[in-house]
Amino acid sequence: MAKERLYLFDTTLRDGAQTNGVDFTLADKLAIAAMLDELGVDYVEGGYPGANATDTELFARDREFNTTFTAFGMTRRPGRSASNDPGLAALLEAKADAICFVAKSWDYHVRVALETTEEENIASIRDSVRAAKQRGPEVLLDCEHFFDGYKANPQFALACAKAAYDEGARWIVLCDTNGGTLPHEVETIVSEVVKTIPGSHIGIHAHNDTEQAVANSLAAVRAGARQIQGTLNGLGERCGNANLVSIIPTLKLKSEFSERFDIGVSDAQLKKLAQVSHALDERLNRAPNRNAPYVGESAFATKAGIHASAIAKDPATYEHVLPETIGNKRKVLVSEQAGKSNVLAELERIGIKADKDDPRIGRLLEIVKEREAIGYAYESAGASFELLARRTLGKVPNYFDVNQFDVNVEQRNNAKGERVTVTMAVVKVKVGDDNMISAAEGNGPVNALDLALRKDLGKYQKYIAGLKLIDYRVRILNSGTEAVTRVLIESEDETGERWITIGVSPNIIDASFQALMDSIIYKLVKSDAPA
């Protein structure tokens, strides 16, 4: 039997942008859209052209996506004609494959918030959908507060939806805007709606205020809806939107859905899901949620003991799906043996030969565990792990010593009487028998320290001449009693090779210094610089 198609609509860049503390740049939006496109999401809602400069610029561009790139905006204002509404005009001008209008569908909101009549609200929907259809793109209508509206006045809520459908809108999206509706209510109400508008034209847009946005989305599908709206990692204002990162694998891996429905995400694309989820957190400079279903670091982690030994016999004993299917990993924490074999595998990957019975392997594992406990994350800093491994195995020469450094930040008036902040670093380095002092000014303490450190390394200078610092990320971790700072530095050399190093300390300059030192030494090791 042919499966029915379910469509995924991502609104990370529009509704997700309402999240407290999230502020997407144009580059962020393009990168996230590209990621969603590669994942196989059918619709990507990019933003609200006309509402802010970033979104206006985004929709002025040509883009090459397979996904239906969608612009969001309001229906015409009450009391205006569609041709005489600048907001609507900006939306219709946007370069978009689809337009998603939002309109009221709760009579109470029409009266109190919009201060207009029910008739005028419906006319505004009809006129706006018609005007958009004439321009060519696909049209969607988000029915704001649909479920609350339906409970208060089902005839009016349905009439709003029906007006858009009759004008040729491809999708009528039922929104649980306040997020307070429960799954059984969603199922009942959607079942009623699909008697008037075919389910193949109905979408669900759920918010997570009772932590049931995913359940509400699935309930709507059970009742006949065929489009699901949501965001990556459940981003969104208040408690967030329905989390597509949980919905996608549920649709792909749970037989109730996978036997009846196809989605645009292939099995191969599903394997990228964990990476997509983590890449979004990385871009937002947030720590990924370890306990996130399917993609979290702990989603398939089991503590040593009877579970672990059962998992070793057959993973299905304690896993509801296979972690590899969504690009995640099984993790058993951590019998000495399992830890050792992880470390050995990692050493082999980076080309360090080691004997499994070498006691130094056990010591390396201990050091990694100790350091990870205080905030180091060697998974994200491969170059620092490699150096740590080489050092523990006694394979890193002592190229140079930094005997002292000093960073000074000063705020003062310059000769023109302007307030300026000047940063200067002085570094004393010993290379062989030579003592050197370098000083540099920078646009901040870490920049000044980096410049001073790399200014003169004597005979090693030629090896690091092409070294560039290309990214610098800081995260404050609260581990135990005091906050510590974790710094990740990404470097690049003249060959284009990139590597990441890490430093952790209560002091941000110390943490940065560790990461800078690792980066330089990694480059010397990689270049086979003589000891």
Site residues for Zn ion per CB under 5 A? 15
Q: Which is nearer to Zn ion, 40 or 179 (CB)?
A: 179
Q: Which is nearer to Zn ion, 61 or 238 (CB)?
A: 238
Calpha distance 275→295 (Å, rounded) = 8
Q: Minimum distance from CB of 177 to Zn ion (Å)?
A: 6
Residue spans of beta strands (DSSP E) within 6-96: 7-10, 43-47, 68-74
Is residue 249 a contact partner of residue 324, using CB atoms and an 8 Å limit?
no
CA 110 remoteness from chain centre: 36
Q: Which is nearer to Zn ion, 15 or 85 (CB)?
A: 15
Is residue 128 a contact partner of residue 101, using CB atoms and an 8 Å limit?
yes
Cβ partners under 8 Å of residue 406, min gap 6: 425, 426, 427
Report the residue closest to Zn ion, judged by CB: 15
Pairing of strands 482-492, 331-333: unpaired
The owner of tokens 């491809």 is: 170
Q: Minimum distance from CB of 55 to Zn ion (Å)?
A: 16
Q: Which is nearer to Zn ion, 102 or 515 (CB)?
A: 102
Q: Which two tokens stand for residue 411?
A: 């705020």
Q: Which is nearer to Zn ion, 227 or 269 (CB)?
A: 227
Is residue 214 a contact partner of residue 236, using CB atoms and an 8 Å limit?
no
Q: Which is nearer to Zn ion, 15 or 450 (CB)?
A: 15
Q: Minimum distance from CB of 374 to Zn ion (Å)?
A: 40
Calpha distance 257→265 (Å, rounded) = 14
The owner of tokens 């689809």 is: 98
Q: Which is nearer to Zn ion, 19 or 519 (CB)?
A: 19
Q: Minimum distance from CB of 375 to Zn ion (Å)?
A: 36
DSSP 285: T
Q: Which is nearer to Zn ion, 175 or 515 (CB)?
A: 175
Nearest to 4 by CA among 191, 198, 168: 198
Cβ partners under 8 Å of residue 521, min gap 6: 387, 396, 399
121: buried, middle or exposed (CB in 10 Å: 19+, 13-18, 0-12)? buried
Q: Minimum distance from CB of 230 to Zn ion (Å)?
A: 10
Q: Minimum distance from CB of 168 to Zn ion (Å)?
A: 24
Is residue 178 a contact partner of residue 134, using CB atoms and an 8 Å limit?
no
CA distances from 490 to 199, 350, 384, 473 (A): 49, 18, 11, 9
Nearest to 369 by CA among 392, 330, 339: 339
Q: Which is nearer to Zn ion, 15 or 127 (CB)?
A: 15
Is residue 424 a contact partner of residue 408, using CB atoms and an 8 Å limit?
yes
Task: Compute how many other C-beta atoms are within 10 angstroms of the C-beta atom of residue 181.
Answer: 26
Q: Which is nearer to Zn ion, 182 or 426 (CB)?
A: 182
Q: Which is nearer to Zn ion, 15 or 493 (CB)?
A: 15
CA distances from 364 to 195, 385, 391 (A): 65, 10, 9
Q: Which is nearer to Zn ion, 15 or 167 (CB)?
A: 15
Q: Minimum distance from CB of 301 to Zn ion (Å)?
A: 33
Pairing of strands 482-492, 4-5: unpaired
Cβ partners under 8 Å of residue 441, min gap 6: 422, 423, 424, 448, 451
Q: Minimum distance from CB of 207 to Zn ion (Å)?
A: 6
Q: Minimum distance from CB of 182 to Zn ion (Å)?
A: 18
Q: Minimum distance from CB of 72 to Zn ion (Å)?
A: 10
Q: Which is nearer to Zn ion, 15 or 386 (CB)?
A: 15
Is residue 389 a contact partner of residue 352, using CB atoms and an 8 Å limit?
yes
Is residue 156 a contact partner of residue 149, using CB atoms and an 8 Å limit?
yes
Length of the chain in terms of residues written = 531
Is residue 169 a contact partner of residue 138, using CB atoms and an 8 Å limit?
no
Q: Minimum distance from CB of 45 to Zn ion (Å)?
A: 10
Q: Minimum distance from CB of 419 to Zn ion (Å)?
A: 43
Q: Minimum distance from CB of 216 to Zn ion (Å)?
A: 12
